[in-house]
Copies of this chain bind each other. A is one copy, B any other.
Amino acid sequence: MSNAEYPKTAINKLGRLPKRGKYDYETVYSIIDESPILHVSFNDPEHPFPVVLPMLGCTINFEDPDAEERDIYIHGYVSGRLFRHSKETGEQGLPVTVAASIMDGLVLALAPFHNSCNYRSATAYGHANLVTASEERLHAMTLITNSLLPSRWETSRSTPTPAELSSTSILRVRIASASAKVRTGGPSEDRKDLKDEALRGRVWTGVVPCWLAWGELVAGKDNGAGEVDGGIEQWRVAENERGRKVAYAAIEEGG
């Protein structure tokens, strides 16, 4: 476990509720890696609004897997035009913001204004480039696949065809700055409300924990490997247990 963190700057420093802020690599990366969907935002000079794409990805240090600092690798299509644009303007890549958010529970207080959510969110700011080196691309594809389901790369037909390789884009986001925000605990109440015995007797307060649940496997129409796969079933059950534990632990951790 490392204590290394991103320096607080005007870009990543939390203005609102700064006590919930975390800047260490470990927290930022773990939220990005746990969140199944990353929201990637960038500007297209031809459009008035930021573009936001839901994408898949994970954190990796390709050059040195043991290094504390990592990049974000993202799988998916972003118009090449944008990268050409960022090259023309002399930037070191397309400026992007990657956001990941995980809901851990609904926090219910005596008054709506004190309701909250337990959550973990991470935001990373950096420059995106298309990865062109084959080895790096394959490495990223392997880890992104396995971040969705452990060992899936190795257990399926992983050697890509030329057509698959040419149709798959991998982006590397070199993180310039990042932060995380984590809310835990139960409700925190207005003092006056706490003295109102009638209100307290009437309104239930506490937390409804939540997590991403994985249901029973549904074999596809072309599946020829038996109705259920033992390894995937084991992962599913463990993942449900882990999600549940994290959501309940967040309540105990205090606000």
| Partner-B contacts on A (CB < 8 A) | 10-11, 15-16, 36-37, 39, 41-43, 46-52, 54, 56, 77, 79, 95-97, 99, 101, 103, 106, 108-113, 115, 117, 119, 121, 123, 125-126, 141, 145, 148-149, 152-153, 155-158, 160-161, 164, 167-168, 176-177, 186-187, 189-190, 192-194, 196-197, 199-226, 228-229, 232, 236, 240, 243-244, 247-248, 251
Which residue of the partner chain B has the closest CB to A144? B112
> Most B CB atoms within 10 A — which of A39, A209, A210, A240?
A39
Q: Are B106 and A164 in contact (CB under 8 A)?
A: no
Chain B proximity of A159: nearest CB distance (Å): 9
User: When chains A and B are docked, how far (Å) is the Cα of A39 from the Cα of B119?
Assistant: 14
Task: Please state if B106 and A148 are interface contacts (CB–CB under 8 Å).
Answer: yes
Query: Which residues of chain B are near A186, meaning CB under 8 Å?
Result: 218, 220-221
Instruction: List, in ascending order, chain B residues with CB within 8 A of A208's CB.
Output: 149, 214-215, 217-218, 232, 236
Known: A112-B141, A213-B243; 10 extra A-B contacts, CB below 8 A, are A52-B123, A108-B152, A112-B158, A115-B145, A164-B190, A187-B220, A208-B215, A208-B218, A210-B213, A212-B213
Query: What distance in Å separates the Cβ of A195 from its nearest Cβ neighbour in chain B?
Result: 11
| B206 touching A217, Cβ below 8 Å | yes
Q: Which residue of B lies closest to A243 (CB)?
A: B213
Q: Which residues of B contact A204 (CB under 8 A)?
A: 217, 219, 223, 225-226, 228-229, 232
The smallest C-beta distance from A54 to any residue of chain B, in angstroms, reads 4
CB pair B205–A210 under 8 Å, yes or no, is: no
Contacts of A161 in B (CB 8 A): 113, 190, 192
| Cα distance A125–B164 in the bound complex, in angstroms | 33
Residues of B within 8 A of A110 (CB): 156-157
